[in-house]
Structure 1
Amino acid sequence: MKHLADLLLLGDPRLYETCEPVLESELPLVIGWAADLHNVMEEIRAKYQFGRGIAAPQLGIMKRLIYLNVDRPQIIINPELVTVSDETDELWDDCMSFPNLLVRVRRHCRLTLAYRDEHWQPHTWAITDWKLAELIQHEYDHLNGILCTMRAIDERSFQWRPTPTSS
């Protein structure tokens, strides 16, 4: 079982690599990979109070696999962005691989994603919720070796995450 200590951090060269597709023959491995992703995401949530999704390469699993836990756990295998909206918006993005840094980026407001689930069934998902669309783009970028630091709007688009204050 992988833990927070296994999370690749900013600067690790593997974070900049393009991932290989998951093969149907690797499907038996997916549940174990998803369990590792879930475990590390829960540790991030406990320590940093954020985390809705994590991409396999963040744990050194160089496969096109995303694990989400927004309303429910969801495994996304070999995702492809089919369409993205022309409309974009800006946000302060965060990343588990550099949890104390926020990066101002611009993302598409809506998208359509094609992927396979953990049973190898194909799906097409039209995402119109802005928060979910930006999350998918962030995780999808990880599969292509792109970090949000590389999408910063400008040189002033970085800030430290505010430290929670205790009362």
Structure 2
Amino acid sequence: MHSSIFTAFIGLVATSLALPTASPSALPTTTNFTVRAFYASLAAPDAPVAYQQQSWADFIIDDGDYNTLCTVMSKPNEALYSTYKYYPCEKEDSDPDVSFSFRISKNFRELEVKKTWNSNGTYLTGFATQETHWKEGESGNVTVSEYGKLYQRFGMWNFEITRLIG
């Protein structure tokens, strides 16, 4: 009696562990990309009505095979950050199976980029997040005025996909 229960248990475990997996060829050849020419402006929330500005962000993503322009603009004095919404980057006609989108955290502390692509028939979505490390003042990368803040990042900003869904 105990041996039949044990055999049934082993059979149940064996079938439970037989999960489908993506083939190794479906994984990306590289999980790195760069953000360059990054500029963003966050409007001062307390600016007089006559001087209210739009917040915006504008940058280029380059993953070696694919380049795209990412841009977003808010309404005057509207927040640019998003907890759940990703802003889409421009879609390249040359590769319709690749797309990028992004979101900016509150207080502009992080930039998260989402890449979606088709790899041998398997759609994958990868996420990469970097802290912004902004610095105001002399030799900083943030310019402060009464109308808001201008953020600039010169050179390459390296990102690595750390979460992958597919």
The alignment's TM-score, normalised by the length of structure 1, stands at 0.22
Q: Which has the higher helix share?
A: 1
Greater CA radius of gyration, 1 or 2? Answer: 2
Q: Which has the higher strand share?
A: 2
The alignment's TM-score, normalised by the length of structure 2, stands at 0.23
